[in-house]
Chains A and B, each alone.
Chain A
Amino acid sequence: MTPRITVALAGNPNSGKTTVFNNLTGCRQHVGNYPGVTVETKQGTCRWGDHVIHVVDLPGTYSLTAYSPEEVEARSFILEQQPDVVVNVVDASNIERNLYLTTQLLELKRPVIIALNMTDVARSRGIEFDLAKLSVLLGAPIVPIVGSRNEGTKELVAAIIRVATEGSPYHPRQVNYGREIEEEIRRIEATLPAEASDSRIPRRWVALQLLQGDSEIAPRVTVRTNEVVAASIAHLERVFGGSVETVMADRRYGFISGACQEAVRATAETRHSLSDAVDAVVTSGIFGLPLFLALMYVVFFLTFRVGGPATGLLSDAFGRLGALITAWWPSGVDTAVRDLLVEGVIGGVGGVLSLLPNVLLLFMAIAILEDSGYMARAAFIMDRFMHHIGLHGKSFIPLVLGFGCTVPAVMATRILENRRDRLTTMLVAPLMSCGARFAVYSLMIPAFFAPQWRAPVLWTIYLIGVLLALGAARLLRSTVLRGESVPLVMELPPYRMPTVRGVLIHMWERGGEYAKKAGTVILALSVVLWAMTTYPRIPADSRHAQRHVDAAVAFDSGVTTLHTMLNLPATSGALREELAPRVVSTTRGESAGAAKADVVQDEAERDRAGRFLALLGDVRTVRERLAEAEGARFENADGSAGRLLRQAAMARLSQLEHGQPDLFAAASYYLDEVEGPYVAAVEAADADEHTARLGNSVAGRIGRFLEPALTPLGFDWRIGTAFIGAMAAREAFIAQMNILFAVGGHRSSDELQGRLHHAYPPLTGFNIMLFLLIGSPCLPAVVVTYRESRSWKWPLMQIAGLTLAAYVTTLIVHSLGTVMGVGTTLGG
């Protein structure tokens, strides 16, 4: 069996720890999240020669106190899992500050190897290291590396294997805290049981933590020990006239600067000169904000404009896949399985997967902003504003991303270290109107509002979302997520050129997770939602089939009349051949039961039929143009564009009429009295069947059940049912409304808009948008919130809170509107 070496990777944030992790685990890494912790921890396994090295990337920390979950996580991993080696990544160009953590790591008594990173940068700045001397002074082997260029990785691995198999060649040095403190340490140690309950935890370390008021360790020792500690602290505070912790921190820095004085020579202080020069512009009061907004715009553009076409292609591909399955489905085989596959699985999972290009680009942009060091600057710039709502500057970035899609926005909250900040931002993120909501708005607004009101209404909806998000953040910060507002203390790392490899790894890690989610949770939920809108089924209604037959019979007798009008024998096949297939393709219904057509004999007959069909085609085209003109009515403020189109179409129509009056009359008869009623009858039959099916399904029943609660908001059961669909994804609202109002998928949205316009007053239209904006976030967002918060408590609270907020807001708007008589008139 090959020996397995567990390595814990510790270090300051921005010390290049992640790069070292990637170098150690290589491309063949198996990376997974360390389970059961509040903080994300990556681990990877890789084979180096005869050894299997298991690397756990601990959270980046500046120290190992009990004050932050990251620090507790890091130290308890080292104490409880007892890794064979702790690799401490130290930024050589900022060595004194980085060694502060090292002094604390050494106290944990695990073998430590120092990976002195960025030695190239340090050397170029005139810092020279006497590594042999420094190793002795610190009592740990030091390996110089350049993580960004993957230099020194082999040497680091060799050192890891050597230390793991032979032990550290150095005697670990400990900080001497001075006579007074050391005396108290011994006093406290004496009260600890000789056979400590947990032998993995060094007694000196326990004593040190107790002296520093460690709230995590205190409950784990005896009352007597705590009494001794209290006395020691009181004594030391009298001696030093200040807090013991500060004195101890001072001694650590003293130890470090002593070591550095002997082994590190700095010839010049130039580390920040370039960074400072850039920051003079980037964080300045004048250019800072505009530059930040410009960068945000670029991120947006990259994500939703550049990613858009790719997303469109993917979504088309899924659509075609669905169509392909439908076409290939052997007749007679259960269609429920086909529908499940096409509507449920491909519709749901495909919808989420087609957003993958957007998500990947978004994470690429975030990775670049993070790796370059700009993210910290953005937080600095936005801090002043975000402070007013109880959040940090960093929260601004996920919120802006929420305008694109809530899912990546929630995932982007990872840039926030503070859990309360993260949760607050995560919970209010859905209030930023996302791209899917925008699709709903662009359906609803033209349906209900006159052109001059459209932009203001859209703007109002977005504004309501932003204001509610800010308000909700304040509310959360002062209630469930209350807590001393942690003042912003954040390192501003020097600017660095992001490496392609680092950015791609970052992008893939996060994007891959998104794809995995689509394949698991979202797959299951899509199936459930599909089933809800499908089952229980109602038995095939014979009346429905009868209506199709009736329509076909009426069509056929109409065509016979047409033959009379055109002076054609009733048995002539000239027209039926042309017309019947056309009707079939228009309605997708059963073929009109055309009588067996004779072969056309007469040349004149053929000619007359041909001229009729040509004219019919023309009239049809002009009529379509007229309908377009109707639609264009809304396009510009005074409706002039629509009017012009209309005039042109009317002129052409009368021209056709004057040319061949009798054929024109026949064409009008056919379109108005035969084809029109046929199409309408078939569509009405299908629509009634759809509605009956949906009404009988679980979703429909829920919609009807909810109707009494929805009536005060001006909503009926159909809207209620569509809301259920909107829980899967906001776009589903449009699809659901299409089904409910029985507008076939091949029709333009104009038609649905027209029907909605006649069905509901504008006030209700506005309230639908309001409800979809505020109400429970879509399932992918709920799932990602669960994953990111690692608890169902928060997403459930979010669903309840937002749904309640949506209900109350809508109720208020509806009541006020009704009382004041605003927007209550039904469109004529």
Chain B
Amino acid sequence: MSLNMARTGQTVRVVSIHAGRGLQSRLSALGIMPGVAVTVVTGSRRGPIVVAVKDSRVVLGRGMAQRIEVA
């Protein structure tokens, strides 16, 4: 499923990211990359979401969250 389907409070593992190189590298720098566990702090199917990764909180726009495949 895509990340924006995950519920608030759920911890999921990133499987793949469908994005251009620039975005991938930016996400990597923020610690979001395949194999990493992220916890959804504020979930939303239609708007931006907040995830916890490593020791930080990251906002992902809806378009971004849709491109992150998680399990």
Count residues of B near A (Cβ-Cβ below 8 Å). Answer: 36
Q: Which residues does chain A contribute within 8 Å of B23, judged by CB atoms?
A: 486-487, 489
Q: Tell me if A242 counts as interface (CB < 8 A to partner B).
A: yes
Among B22, B44, B55, B60, point to the contact of A93 (Cβ < 8 A).
B55
Task: Check if A95 is an interface residue, CB within 8 A of chain B.
Answer: yes
Cβ-closest chain B residue relative to A271: B55
Q: A96-B55, A279-B42 are in contact. Are A489 and B28 (CB under 8 A)?
A: no
A384-B29 contact, Cβ under 8 Å, with A94-B56, A279-B41, A487-B23:
no
Q: Is the CB of A491 within 8 A of B57?
A: yes
Q: Which of B22, B28, B42, B60 has the most CB of A within 10 A?
A: B28
Residue B37 CB within 8 A of the other chain:
no
B59 within 8 A of A: yes
Is B59 in contact with A63, judged by CB distance below 8 angstroms? no
Interchain CA distance A742-B24 in the complex, whole Å? 65
CB neighbours (8 Å) of B34 from chain A are 242, 246
Q: What's the Cα separation between A384 and B64 when bound, in Å?
A: 13
Report which of B33, B54, B57 forms a contact with A96, defined as CB distance below 8 A.
Answer: B54
Let me know if B31 and A489 touch, CB within 8 A.
no
Residues of A within 8 A of B48 (CB): 380, 383-384, 393, 488
Q: Is A319 an interface residue (CB 8 A)?
A: no
Could you tell me which residues of chain B, from 1 to 40, have a CB within 8 Å of some CB in chain A?
Answer: 19-31, 33-35
- Quick check: A63 and B25 within 8 Å, CB to CB? yes
- A487 lies within 8 A of B63 (CB): yes
Chain B residue nearest to A122 in the complex (CB)? B55
Is A530 interfacial (CB-CB < 8 Å)? no
Contacts of B58 in A (CB 8 A): 489-492
* Bound-state Cα–Cα, A32 to B22, Å: 31
What residues of B have a CB within 8 angstroms of the CB of A490 in the complex?
Answer: 58-59
Is A100's beta carbon under 8 Å from chain B? yes
How many residues on A have C-beta within 8 angstroms of the other chain's C-beta atoms? 49
Nearest-Cβ distance from residue A415 to partner chain B, whole angstroms: 14
Contacting residues of chain A (381-440) with chain B, CB-CB under 8 angstroms: 383-384, 387, 392-393
Q: Is B61 within 8 A of A387, CB to CB?
A: yes
Q: Are A94 and B54 in contact (CB under 8 A)?
A: yes
Instruction: Collect the chain B residues with CB atoms within 8 Å of residue A387's CB.
Output: 61-63
From B20, B42, B55, B62, residue with most partner A Cβ within 10 Å: B55
The answer to whether the Cβ of A615 comes within 8 Å of any Cβ in the partner chain is no
Contact of B60 among A95, A486, A487 (CB under 8 A): A487
The complex places the Cα of A272 from the Cα of B56 at a distance, in Å, of: 8
Chain B residues with CB below 8 A from A62, complex form:
26, 29-30
On whether A250 and B54 interact (CB within 8 A), knowing A62-B26, A485-B63, A488-B61, the answer reads no
Contact of B52 with A67 in the complex, beta carbons under 8 Å: no
Partner of A383, one of B25, B47, B57: B47
Kindly identify which residue among A96, A245, A275, A484 contacts B24, using a CB–CB cutoff of 8 Å. A245
What is the minimal beta-carbon distance from A122 to any residue of chain B, in angstroms?
A: 10
* Chain A residues within an 8 Å CB radius of B29: 62-63, 65, 100-101, 249
- Contact pattern, A 475-512, Cβ under 8 Å of B = 1, otherwise 0: 00000000011111111111000000000000000000
User: Nearest chain-B residue to A101 (Cβ)?
Assistant: B29
Q: Confirm or deny: A379 has a beta carbon within 8 angstroms of a beta carbon on chain B.
A: yes
Residues from chain B with a CB closer than 8 A to the CB of A493 are 56-57
**A384 and B28 alpha carbons, distance in the complex (Å):** 24
* Contact for B50 among A68, A101, A492, CB less than 8 A: A492
Asked if A276 is at the interface (CB within 8 A of a chain B CB), the reply is yes
Given A249-B25, A253-B31, A383-B48 in contact, is the A97-B55 Cβ separation under 8 Å?
yes
Q: Which residue from chain A places its CB closest to the CB of B59 in the assembled complex? A: A490
Residue numbers in A under 8 Å from B35 (CB-CB): 250
- Cross-chain contact A65 with B47 (CB below 8 angstroms): no
- How far, in angstroms, from A126 to B21 measured CA to CA in the complex? 37
In the assembled complex, which residues on chain A have CB atoms less than 8 Å from the CB atom of B59?
376, 379-380, 383, 488-492
| B59 smallest CB distance to A (angstroms) | 5
Taking A67-B25, A489-B23, A489-B64 as contacts, is the C-beta distance between A283 and B50 under 8 angstroms?
yes
Q: Return chain B residues, CB-CB under 8 Å to A489.
A: 23, 26-27, 30, 58-61, 64
A76-100 contacts to B (CB < 8 Å): 93-97, 100
Least distance between B50 CB and chain A CB atoms (Å): 6
A245 to B59, CA, bound (A): 23
- Per the bound structure, the CA–CA distance linking A491 and B52 in Å amounts to 10
CB of A791 within 8 Å of the partner chain: no
Q: For residue B55, which residues in chain A have a CB less than 8 angstroms away from its CB? A: 93-97, 269, 271-272
Does A484 lie within 8 Å of B20, measured CB to CB? Answer: yes
Q: How long is the Cα–Cα vector from A68 to B26 in the complex, in angstroms?
A: 9
Q: Does A243 sit within 8 A of B, measured CB to CB?
A: yes
Residues of A near B46 (CB, < 8 A) are 384
Q: How far is the CB of B30 from chain A (nearest CB, A)?
A: 6
Q: Give the distance to chain B from A240, nearest Cβ to Cβ, in Å.
A: 11
Query: Cα distance A488–B66 when bound, in Å?
Result: 12
Contact A488 B25, CB 8 Å, known A93-B55, A96-B31, A249-B33: no
Residue with the highest number of chain A CB atoms closer than 10 Å, among B24, B42, B57, B62 = B57
CB distance from A239 to the nearest CB of B (A): 16
Interface members, chain A 233-277 (any B CB < 8 Å)? 242-243, 245-246, 249-250, 253, 269, 271-272, 275-276
Q: Does A202 contact B (CB under 8 A)?
A: no
Give Cα distance in the complex from A816 to B55, angstroms.
61
B33 contacts A276, C-beta separation under 8 Å:
no
Query: Cβ of B60: which chain A residues have Cβ within 8 Å of it?
Result: 487-489
Q: Is the CB of B30 within 8 A of A491?
A: yes
Q: Which residues of the partner chain A approach B26 to less than 8 Å between Cβ atoms?
A: 62-63, 67-68, 489
Q: Are B41 and A213 closer than 8 Å at their CB atoms? A: no
The residue on B at minimum CB distance from A212 is B25
Scan A749-789; emit 1 where CB is below 8 A from any B CB, else 0: 00000000000000000000000000000000000000000
Cα-based distance from A250 to B25 in the complex (angstroms): 11
Which residues does chain A contribute within 8 Å of B21, judged by CB atoms? Answer: 67, 213, 243, 245
> With the chains together, A418 CA to B30 CA distance in Å?
17
- With both chains docked as a complex, state the minimum distance between the C-beta of B47 and any C-beta of chain A, in angstroms: 4
Q: Which residues from chain A contact B54 at a C-beta distance below 8 Å?
A: 94, 96-97
Q: Are A250 and B33 in contact (CB under 8 A)?
A: yes
Q: Are B28 and A491 in contact (CB under 8 A)?
A: no
Please name all residues of chain B whose beta carbon is closer than 8 Å to the beta carbon of A97 when the two chains form the complex: 30-31, 54-56
Q: Give chain A interface residues in 361-385, CB to chain B under 8 Å.
A: 376, 379-380, 383-384
Q: Which residues of chain B come closer than 8 Å to A392, judged between CB atoms?
A: 61
Measured in the bound complex, the distance between the Cα atoms of B31 and A95 in whole Å is 12
Closest chain-A Cβ to B67's Cβ sits at a distance in Å of: 8
Complex CA distance for A63 and B33, rounded to whole angstroms: 14
Given A376-B59, A393-B48, A488-B59, 6 other A-B contacts at CB below 8 A?
Answer: A65-B29, A213-B21, A245-B25, A250-B35, A272-B57, A380-B50
Interface pairs (9), CB distance under 8 Å: A65-B22, A67-B22, A94-B56, A96-B55, A383-B61, A484-B20, A486-B23, A487-B67, A489-B61
- 6 nearest CB pairs, A to B: A488-B61, A62-B29, A487-B64, A249-B28, A63-B29, A67-B22
Q: Could you tell me which A residues sit within 8 Å of B by CB distance?
A: 62-63, 65, 67-68, 93-97, 100-101, 212-213, 242-243, 245-246, 249-250, 253, 269, 271-272, 275-276, 279, 283-285, 376, 379-380, 383-384, 387, 392-393, 484-494
